[in-house]
A and B are shown apart, each in its own frame.
Chain A
Amino acid sequence: MKSFMTFRESLSLAVAKEMEADPSVFVFGLDVPDHKRIFGSTKGLVEKFGLERCFGTPLSEDAMTGVALGAALSGLRPIHVHIRVDFMMLAMNQIVNMISNLRYMSGGKLTIPLVIRAVIGRGWGQSAQHSKSLQSFFAHIPGLKVVMPTTPQDAYSLLRTSIRDDNPVIFLEHRWLYDVEGEVDERKTIPLGNATVRRQGDAVTVVATSWMNVEALKAAEVLERRGIQLEVVDVRSITPLDEETIIQSVKKTRRCIVADYDWAFCGFSAELASLIHHRCFNDLKKPVERLGFAPVPCPTTRPLENLFYPSAVHIIRIVEQMLGLEKTDLSGESFYSYEHNFKGPF
């Protein structure tokens, strides 16, 4: 069945489908059952499945993450939700020392069917403690899978796949994507480790994560008017990583920008740049360029926040440099800053 819905609706639909299909699936976390329902992404679950399978927690991330692990070991399939990825930092001992290790340490005997959903990235003047992304950080740890959907279809299908996965999966959702609409085919399954070409082009490949796909498509739209065709590859999952789709695209365009939504230094963008340089050394016309957060904690004030997060403008300027073009006049263009569209209070 196909229907049109927002990203947030696709998330709650995916969880509802899995909870219906498997009584061992449950969802919990701080603020999960309150009236806001994690920006609407857990809407309807309390009503449908009751507080036994959809419940809030004390402000005890470390302990609750241990609880999730224990529940997974006992045969349940927990989905632990964090309204900000920053709050997961309170549970890093459980995630990095316990959850990620157990399957390996048990010689593969134990399974850890556990999903940790977290809202990432930009809100609106969120400052340094409510604004991170951290996929590089999680992907650095062997034993964790890291998924970053961009479209409602991907959010739906990848969340269902993640819940069915027998390994711990960190599922990262950009806050600005929640309002994005798209068609969702409820029967469509997407495996983890499967990148997709969002847009075909021949000039430059932009490999993007999460919200950066939106920015890359905007950059492509602007540059298309100058006859430049960007190819946009959405990696969809950081680990497992679909190397072949990325490499094939870069071999075709022979130029690549990795547009990651995280800090660049020691980040996923560095990992991909290294991979691409190795595998496409003789194909590349230019070194791989990388784009990410500015190397500072996130500033609150709007002008600096706009510089902190990478955008379509950054992509356009880098493409122009790579191709040796004059700067495009962007004064008439529209971009995504939420400067006027977003109204507080948080």
Chain B
Amino acid sequence: MNHGELLKMGEYNHLSIEGCSPDIIRCLYRFMLRLRRCQEALIKEYYPADEMRCPVHFCIGQEASPAALSLLLSQSDYLLSHHRCHGYYLAKGGSMNALFAEIYGRATGANGGIAGSQDISVHDLNFFSGAILSGSVAIAVGVALGFQTKALRSVAVTAFGDGATDQGIFWEAINYAVLRRLPLVFVCENNRYSTYAPLSKRQGKENISERVQSFGMNVKTVFGNDVALLYSVFSNAIEEAREGRGPCFIEAFTYRWNAHVGPGEDDYLGYRSVAEREFWKKNCPIALLEKQMVGQNLMDSKIKEKMIVEIDQEIATAFQFAKESPFPHLKEWSQLNYNIDTPQADRLLETIDSSFFDQNQKEAMPGPY
């Protein structure tokens, strides 16, 4: 499977909800709808308010993978994601309030405003993200090694894009995970683009899974907008890993609808074809599931309406929470060095007077020189 071949398929009509309980199907649907609406609301609120002062990578179109994982991981399992992380954050149980507050740079954010969108983490939930591509992959290998060493039944999952597979460390991590038969699931969301560069301009052959398989890894290649299929594939892989039968690599083909970063769209640049965009919008992960649910009487306009009201209420609350929350307390600046053994750093922090900062200070532009 590769992106070019997928486009020839036209409409995807293999999604089946037969094997899943209605409860699971409803949860998958609700997760995706909630994630979609939360992203859309953030995008709508972005300008002109301009209060989200950090790079934000939206994941509209890529809701299926985090949705499937949201039902399969326990608190003690680890999830290490990439910069496009809001879905995974919610999948691991992160609160919407703390997510919004983090993006708004407030003290009540998941990381007190220090990390922002692309580096958000939740220690209590064993959730991590990061802005260096493939940065989390090797770390996940180490987490899984920890589980194995301590004979725990926990599993590590690392999610990344096709861009991460350009990196040498990715292949080193794959090799080591196989060598040690680690309880680890690799989730590659292949959305074909690393920023503006398509896979075909970065790799000589579009066969990531094949190459990973040649390392001795169990590999699955799936249509990544089929959430029911993802649920079943993830479920098996996580179970196998938990039972000590080694790691698995899952390549899920999907597509980001928005620009690489920020609230806009960047299709006007012409780096992605209209046919491609239309294919993926037609095969929207939410719409594909909804169609099946309607066919099986699991969804109607009344149920959907009720869901939307609940979700939008949660989103409104999260915005209010974020906007009403204070910025980090400047008096606590000098306690930001958390390493108690480095008094030198403490002294240096103390010399930076937090009263220097005045958000209302007038602004100048430099030059000319």
Contacts and interface: CB of A to CB of B under 8 A. Distances in A.
- Is chain B a partner of chain A in the same complex? yes
Interface of A: 4, 30-31, 34-35, 56-60, 62-63, 86-87, 90, 124-130, 150-153, 176, 179-183, 214, 217-218, 264-265, 294-296, 299-304, 306-307, 311, 313-314, 317, 330-341, 343-346
Given A59-B164, A128-B119, 9 more contacts: A34-B197, A34-B271, A59-B133, A90-B132, A124-B54, A301-B327, A307-B352, A336-B364, A344-B47
A313 B352 CA distance: 10
Contacts of A296: 336-337, 345, 349
A304 B116 contact: no
B15 interface: no
B114 A300 contact: yes
B112 to A, nearest CB: 8
A314 B202 CA distance: 45
A59 B161 CA distance: 12
B113 A294 contact: no
Interface string B161-174: 00110111100000
A128 to B, nearest CB: 6
A344 B259 CA distance: 13
Interface residues of B, number: 71
Given A90-B132, A128-B119, A341 B168 contact: no
A334 B328 contact: no
B262 A346 contact: yes
B353 interface: yes
21 contacts: A34-B197, A59-B133, A90-B132, A125-B53, A128-B115, A182-B367, A183-B368, A217-B366, A265-B348, A295-B348, A300-B54, A301-B328, A302-B359, A304-B333, A306-B356, A306-B357, A307-B330, A314-B356, A330-B361, A334-B362, A335-B361
Q: Among the interface residues B54, B352, B358, which one has the most CB atoms of the partner chain A within 10 A?
A: B54
B23 to A, nearest CB: 38
B131 A303 contact: no
Contacts of B22: none
Contacts of A180: 366-369
Which secondary structure characterizes the binding site on chain A?
loop
B76 interface: no
* 7 shortest interchain CB distances as A-B pairs: A345-B262, A301-B113, A125-B54, A301-B105, A300-B116, A295-B345, A346-B55
B13 interface: no
B356 A317 contact: yes
A30 B262 CA distance: 20
Instruction: Label chain B's interface by main secondary structure.
Output: loop
Given A125-B105, A180-B368, A339-B363, A345 B263 contact: yes
A167 B54 CA distance: 37
Nearest to A34: B196
Contact of A86 (B132, B353, B354): B132
Contacts of A59: 133-134, 163-164, 166-167, 194, 202
Contacts of B134: 59
Interface string B126-141: 0000111111000000
A307 B333 contact: yes
Contacts of B55: 125-126, 130, 344-346
A301 B259 CA distance: 23
Of residues A35, A124, A153, which shows the largest number of chain B Cβ atoms within 10 Å of its Cβ? A35
A129 B114 CA distance: 12
B118 interface: yes
Contacts of B195: 31, 34
A278 B62 CA distance: 60
B274 interface: no
Given A59-B133, A294-B349, A345-B263, A304 B53 contact: no
A341 B365 contact: yes
Interface centre among A86, A300, A330, A337 (most CB of B within 10 A): A300
A306 B134 CA distance: 30
Contact of B369 (A128, A152, A333, A339): A152
B357 A127 contact: no
Interface in B79-129: 105-106, 109, 112-116, 118-119
A214 B368 CA distance: 10
A127 B369 contact: no
A332 B261 CA distance: 36
Interface string B341-352: 010110011001
B264 interface: yes
Counting chain B CB atoms within 10 Å of each CB, the highest count among A86, A179, A264, A307 belongs to A307
A300 B113 contact: yes
B166 A179 contact: no
A340 B361 CA distance: 10
Contact of B116 (A86, A127, A153, A335): A127
Nearest to B48: A343
A256 to B, nearest CB: 17
Nearest to B134: A59
Given A127-B54, A346-B55, A294 B352 contact: yes
Contacts of A128: 115, 119
Contacts of A333: 361-362
A333 to B, nearest CB: 7
A346 B354 CA distance: 26
B269 interface: yes
